[in-house]
Amino acid sequence: MPKILLINPNTIQPPVAPLGIEYLSSFLREKGIAVEIFDMNIHSEHTLSETLQTYRPDIAGISLRNIDDSCFVTQESFLERIRELVSRIKRASPKTMVVLGGVGFSLMPSDILAYTRAEIGIYGDGEEGMLNLALYTEGRCTLDNVPNIITGNKTGKPGYLSLEDFFPHRGSIDNRFYFNNGGMAGIETSRGCNRECIYCADPIAKGKKIRLRNPESVVHELEQLLDMGIDHFHTCDCEFNLIREHVVAICRKIIEQGIGKRVHWYAYGVVDGFDEPLAELMKKAGCEGINFGIDHTADEILRFYRRRHRLQDIREAVNACRKAGIRVMLDLLLGSPQENMETLQGVFEDMKSLNPTRVGVSYGIRVYPETEFYYFLNRSGYQIPLNLIMPFFYINPELSKDIDGFICEMVEGDEIFFFNSREHPEKNYNYNANDVLSHAISSERYRGAFWDILYRKYRDEKHNTNKN
């Protein structure tokens, strides 16, 4: 039987559970493949060589969820550490095939493969590629039959797992550890994104076609986690409500199973088509909060980003959430080529008048190859590095000097704003190395989405100060 060691090198704090590894191992074990997990949040890195020498895996699979923190202010890349990891595995266990995969890897697989000097990568969905690669190590399959494979000289055809019969078993990873230290568990209800947002690489990594999971299997998964004492969740779809009927079916199933009051969940969502009946139903099914990535409110910028919503849609979605009792976070992406002082002023005024629970303010657009934004910059003659594996951000050159100070002024003294600031790192809501958040979860037992924990912690502290 082929043996695989799946490695989670993502030690960003607070920790997020490696859901990709959980799903992969469930799929592979069901097909009779032996899988062990080496999770660097749990196992000391120093024991990796020993594990490799005793377990002797045919394949060591490294999961690259994040290649960097995607934050203009900090721009921390994780790839050098991955390159060292690859070379350490090769030294400790020369016969083991080192394979890279994961959503971060899938953003630019061939460049990352070359940089890290791993032999093989599998981009996109990992399940079938890893299975066939395992069979290949036993001579039961050829490399040509490995979907999504990428090597120094070959790129396999893309393969997309059908999720209709996907009933993952939860429990290969230590979900309790992540709940205690990261405040939630992740769950995927769909894969892929059919939207056209010009800067986003999700459709490249996950496919443009939306594949839906069976609501029964989603609820079965929630029940498995509830049995472990885990009751706070975050969806791990590109966007949860791309297909309204799917959301309705999942919520109805949760309610029908009688667990709507026991689960507390959060989602990333789109505002267009989000209305009161949907908000009410989601609330009944346990939804606590939604994070809408709205980017902006100015028509010309939303049009440039190829977003489907306009300010009115945002207003309706925020009001629907407020009425249903769902907390709402709006995420902004500022600094586009159309941005100017007027559009900046306008978007902050709109935020203040909409008054959502929280607003996350980021500026600087991380540029990924093969996105429309990448082609736009190329056409405009903007200087982009040939290789984009290290963080590279676009920010309108006409604004780059003033934008930080201007935003600081706009958000000063207003508690609804989180701001990733170059000048004021203490205002950052970056979830990388966020000590306030880590402490709130592991010592003060806050649970839920990170933005909502920060919000509730602030609210509770303010309330206590007022009381004292």
Residues that bind ligand B12 (CB under 6 A): 10, 12, 15-17, 19-21, 23-24, 61-63, 65-71, 99, 101-104, 106, 122, 125-127, 129-130, 184, 186, 188, 201-202, 206, 234, 236, 238, 268, 430-432, 450
**Closest distance of CB 340 from ligand B12, Å:** 26
E strand or H helix at 329: strand 327-334
**Number of residues assigned to the chain:** 468
Nearest to 117 by CA among 147, 79, 155, 148: 79
When the beta carbons of 14 and 337 are compared against ligand B12, the nearer one is 14
When the beta carbons of 164 and 299 are compared against ligand B12, the nearer one is 164
**Closest distance of CB 197 from ligand B12, Å:** 10
When the beta carbons of 239 and 350 are compared against ligand B12, the nearer one is 239
Both tokens of 256, joined, read: 């029908």
When the beta carbons of 38 and 304 are compared against ligand B12, the nearer one is 38
Neighbours of 206 (CB within 10 A): 22
Environment class of 352 (CB within 10 Å of its CB; exposed 0-12, middle 13-18, buried 19+): middle
Both tokens of 223, joined, read: 């029940």
**Closest distance of CB 54 from ligand B12, Å:** 20
**Closest distance of CB 181 from ligand B12, Å:** 10
In this structure, what DSSP letter does residue 72 have? T
**Closest distance of CB 141 from ligand B12, Å:** 15
Q: Report how far Cα 251 is from the mean position of its chain's Cα atoms.
A: 22
Cis amide bond preceding 14, omega within 30: yes
Contacts of 176 (CB under 8 A, 6+ apart): 228, 229, 230
For residue 363, the cross-strand partners are 334
Report the distance separating Cα 41 and Cα 15, nearest Å: 7
Both tokens of 27, joined, read: 């799929």
Nearest to 393 by CA among 362, 426, 439, 436: 362
When the beta carbons of 146 and 311 are compared against ligand B12, the nearer one is 146
Contacts of 288 (CB under 8 A, 6+ apart): 264, 265, 266, 326, 327, 448, 449, 452
When the beta carbons of 195 and 310 are compared against ligand B12, the nearer one is 195
When the beta carbons of 65 and 253 are compared against ligand B12, the nearer one is 65
Q: What is the 3-state secondary structure (H, E, C) of 105-124?
A: HHCCHHHHHHHHCCCEEECC
**Closest distance of CB 309 from ligand B12, Å:** 19
**Closest distance of CB 378 from ligand B12, Å:** 20
Report the distance separating Cα 347 and Cα 386, nearest Å: 33
**Closest distance of CB 312 from ligand B12, Å:** 26
When the beta carbons of 226 and 252 are compared against ligand B12, the nearer one is 226
